[in-house]
Amino acid sequence: MMSDARTPHLYIYDFGVGPESRAQLLGQAPSILWFTGLSGAGKSAIADRLEAALHACGRLTYILDGDSVRRGLCKDLGFDKEDRRENVRRVAEVAKLMADAGIVVLVCLISPFHSDRELARLIAGKHVFAEVYVHAPLAVAEARDTKGLYRLARRGAIQNFTGIDSPYERPTSPDIFIDTCTMSIDEGANMVLDWVSRH
């Protein structure tokens, strides 16, 4: 299969073992669970609890966490709108490759822009994809300030910080909505686990 116009001389080899065979070997349905929300909303905590529950069910998983990928895969990127989009694109491409391998992928990325999250869904292709909106109002997330980042952003030490001087576009119709003001981490993880079991 030929690639796009920017890479006219590249061809995608049709390997004999495909995503369906890998999923069958693992005995599980791969999926991409895309956790979005403000810093401090609880994305990583819920994903961590969810991964433990999935492992207890015998599922092979991997978490792609925003801070981790920015230390390696995306360490050359900043936080302006263009770099944020590229950050999402790279992570989505990696998530797709991992789903192709049969893995349940949990992505924890602020991913503040609707168009970027839609790009991630598009890249996922035929794989099951869930946008998981982990909600906490800015005042609550800032009060938690688990990493001390809001304090730095308020002092001007961090630029383009989501919620302070860079916008967060709330999902209008997420597949899963978790309000961490009214739900515990366990309740949020169980909600996603239930969704996964039905899809």
Catalytic site residue from 3, 21, 111, 197: 111
Predicted TM-score (pTM) of this structure: 0.92
**How many whole angstroms separate alpha carbon 131 and alpha carbon 119?**
12
**How many whole angstroms separate alpha carbon 13 and alpha carbon 118?**
27
In the chain, pLDDT over 90 holds for what percent of residues?
86
Q: Are strands 104-108 and 176-179 parallel, antiparallel or unpaired?
A: unpaired
For residue 170, what pLDDT is reported?
97
Q: Which helix (H) or strand (E) holds 105?
A: strand 104-108
Confidence check: pLDDT of 121 > 90: yes
Burial of 7 (0-12, 13-18, 19+ CB in 10 A): exposed
Q: Is residue 128 within 8 Å of residue 199, measured between CB atoms? A: yes
**How many whole angstroms separate alpha carbon 127 and alpha carbon 111?**
19
Cβ-proximal residues to 190 (8 Å cutoff; 6+ apart), any chain: 53
Confidence check: pLDDT of 43 > 90: yes
**How many whole angstroms separate alpha carbon 84 and alpha carbon 156?**
19
Residue 4 binned pLDDT confidence (cut-offs 50, 70, 90): low
pLDDT in tens, 146-195: 889 999 999 999 999 999 999 999 999 999 999 999 999 999 999 999 99
- Kindly state the average pLDDT of the residues 85-89: 98
Q: What is the residue type of 105? A: V
Confidence check: pLDDT of 130 > 70: yes
Q: Are strands 61-65 and 104-108 parallel, antiparallel or unpaired?
A: parallel
For residue 36, what pLDDT is reported?
99
Q: Is residue 87 within 8 Å of residue 75, measured between CB atoms? A: no
For residue 50, what pLDDT is reported?
98
- Kindly state the average pLDDT of the residues 8-37: 90
Active site residue 111: yes
pLDDT in tens, 50-70: 999 999 999 999 999 999 999
Give the count of beta carbons closer than 10 Å to the beta carbon of residue 131.
21
For residue 14, what pLDDT is reported?
84
Domain 30-198, CATH among 3.40.50.720, 3.30.450.40, 3.30.2020.10, 3.40.50.300: 3.40.50.300
Residue numbering of the annotated binding site for ATP: 37-44
For residue 12, what pLDDT is reported?
81
Residue numbering of the annotated binding site: 37-44
Q: Is residue 83 within 8 Å of residue 77, measured between CB atoms? A: yes
Take residue 102 and report the two structure tokens written for it: 């049969």
Taking alpha carbons only, the member of 50, 36, 30 closest to residue 96 is 30
Residue 87 binned pLDDT confidence (cut-offs 50, 70, 90): very high
